[in-house]
Amino acid sequence: MKSVFFNIIFVVFLVCLFALQGAWLYYTYQSENVKIQGILNETLSESIVEEINGRCSFISKGKIIYESPEKTYEYKYDENKGTLISQQVDFIQHILLHEGACFNLNTVDSIYATCLHEHDIHVQYCLHHTDSIGNIIESCGTDIDKEFHTVAMPVVNGTKAGAIVKIPPPAIFRSMLKILIISILIFFLIIACMIYEVKVFLTQRQLHQLRNDFVHALSHDMKTPLATIHSVLISLQNGSLDAHPEKKREFGSIAVEQILDLQSIVDQILTVAYIDRKQLALNRQEINLPEMIRSLIDKFRVRKGKNIEFCEKYNLKEKPVYADPFYLKNAISNLIDNAIKYSGDAVKIDIECTAGDKQICISVKDNGFGISKSDRQKIFVRFERGAEIKRKRISGFGLGLNYVKCVIEAHGGTVALVSRESAGSEFTVTIPIHL
């Protein structure tokens, strides 16, 4: 339930993040569009002024007809009044018209294109020179309809000059390129941080669950042996078994067996810890592998509650096996123990040992519950147990197969698994031959 709630919160957060990012980019896009429109209006005004200056220079022949403080004409449009601020321009336009220097839309087009290029604005436009009632006198450029219309600039005698401009999205994105790059980088940074936080959260959650499972399983596995040992010691202490030497020996054997089981659990935990610290020291020596396996079979054959059948096969070609007897024996013991634990009441276990040119293979095959494909990916991970095993509530704390993997890899070998649900499993360990 908590996982579903967390997933919902995560999705809602992502949607809100995308929505905010989209709204901000849309606002930026509109702002840049308005900015470009302002530049188009201003540039058109400047182009018309340049065209006027050009005609003035042509007819004056060295005589200055009009000179502003900066030798340019102020030709701005008042959006509130809808009229030209400077009346001097209109006066100059009449003089130029009287002198035969008529308004030239092609010149304005050339100047306008140059100015837009200087502002790094690449758009298609069409210039129009219209009369006082809006009829087009002449036009220049690409024929465009239903796009942005610049402010119509009065020229002379009520005529006006304006432009229809097609502002494509790439032109707007070009102007906001830096903002886009920064926005994308920030967005991905936020996503990366969020994913990292989610991974940390899930890891912590998984570690918390694994810790609880481990503590529960460990306490469960240790509770029974400790209770048995405690009962035996109480019986020995109060002398209730003194009159029954047979039961006394039997109870003593049971206590010893339970102590060995506890020692095995502790050894597994310590071995995994040593491997983590890279402090596992192997005491390699020549071992009698068939004898080792038979001793394990004798140990497990007397286990009560299940009918266990063992089948052995050895083909070692008289090649010596060099390994650490303590760790290898515990590793094989874990495989046999799992085969018994994760099987039904009738258990059949096939153990086969074969020697190759460079390695020894030990196979432990059972007719148990099998392992699902999804569980096979994590079955060797520490503290991990298969979902089916958890459902069957079989005791264990997820260290057995991890112990096997760590020990075999410490010997320079490998562990392989072949399994099918409801059809049993086969574990094959290989260790190199050291002569």
3-state class (DSSP) for residue 322 = strand
Segment 69-79 shows an average pLDDT of 42
Reported for 217-226, long-range contacts at CB under 8 A and 24+ positions apart, including other chains, are: 217/395, 217/396, 217/397, 217/398, 218/265, 218/397, 220/395, 221/265, 221/395, 221/396, 221/397, 222/262, 222/265, 224/258, 225/258, 225/259, 225/261, 225/262, 226/258, 226/262
- HSE-CB at 308 with a 13 A cutoff on CA atoms is 24
CATH number, domain 177-276: 1.10.287
Confidence of residue 68 (pLDDT cuts 50, 70, 90): very low
Q: What's the mean per-residue pLDDT of the chain?
A: 78
Q: What is the DSSP string of 247-266?
A: HHHHHHHHHHHHHHHHHHHH
What is the DSSP-derived secondary structure letter of residue 83? S
Q: Which CATH class is domain 285-432?
A: alpha beta
Spatial distance between the Cα atoms of 194 and 212, rounded to a whole number of angstroms? 27
pLDDT surpassing 80 at residue 79? no
Confidence of residue 169 (pLDDT cuts 50, 70, 90): confident
> What's the pLDDT at 349?
92
Q: For the chain, how far is it from start to end, CA to CA, in angstroms?
A: 57
Segment 123-132 shows an average pLDDT of 87
Confidence of residue 71 (pLDDT cuts 50, 70, 90): very low
Q: Does the global pTM surpass 0.75?
A: no
Quickly tell me which residue has 């229809």 as its tokens: 164
| Residue type at position 354 | T
Q: At what angle do helices 2-60 and 87-98 cross, to 10 degrees?
A: 50
Residue ranges of the domains in the chain?
A: 2-175, 177-276, 285-432
**Which residues, in sequence order, are CB contacts of 161 under 8 Å at separation 6+?**
44, 48, 103, 105, 108, 127, 128, 129, 130, 152, 153, 155
CA distances from 164 to 14, 46, 355, 392, 423 (A): 41, 16, 88, 77, 78
Q: What is the pLDDT of residues 338-362, one digit of tens each?
A: 888 888 888 899 999 998 888 899 9
Segment 326-331 shows an average pLDDT of 88
Q: Which has more confidence, 395 or 274? A: 274
Question: How many other CB atoms are found less than 10 A from the CB of residue 279?
Answer: 8
pLDDT surpassing 80 at residue 290? yes
Question: 415 pairs with which residues across the strands?
Answer: 429
Segment 297-314 shows an average pLDDT of 81
Q: What is the pLDDT of residues 232-263, one digit of tens each?
A: 888 878 877 777 788 888 888 778 877 877 87
> What's the pLDDT at 400?
77
> What's the pLDDT at 66?
41
> What's the pLDDT at 383?
66
pLDDT surpassing 90 at residue 304? no
pLDDT surpassing 50 at residue 78? no
Q: What is the DSSP string of 146-195?
A: SSEEPPPEE-STT-EEEEEEE--HHHHHHHTHHHHHHHHHHHHHHHHHHH
The count of residues in the chain is: 435
> What's the pLDDT at 72?
39
pLDDT surpassing 50 at residue 39? yes
Segment 149-170 shows an average pLDDT of 84
Segment 154-161 shows an average pLDDT of 82
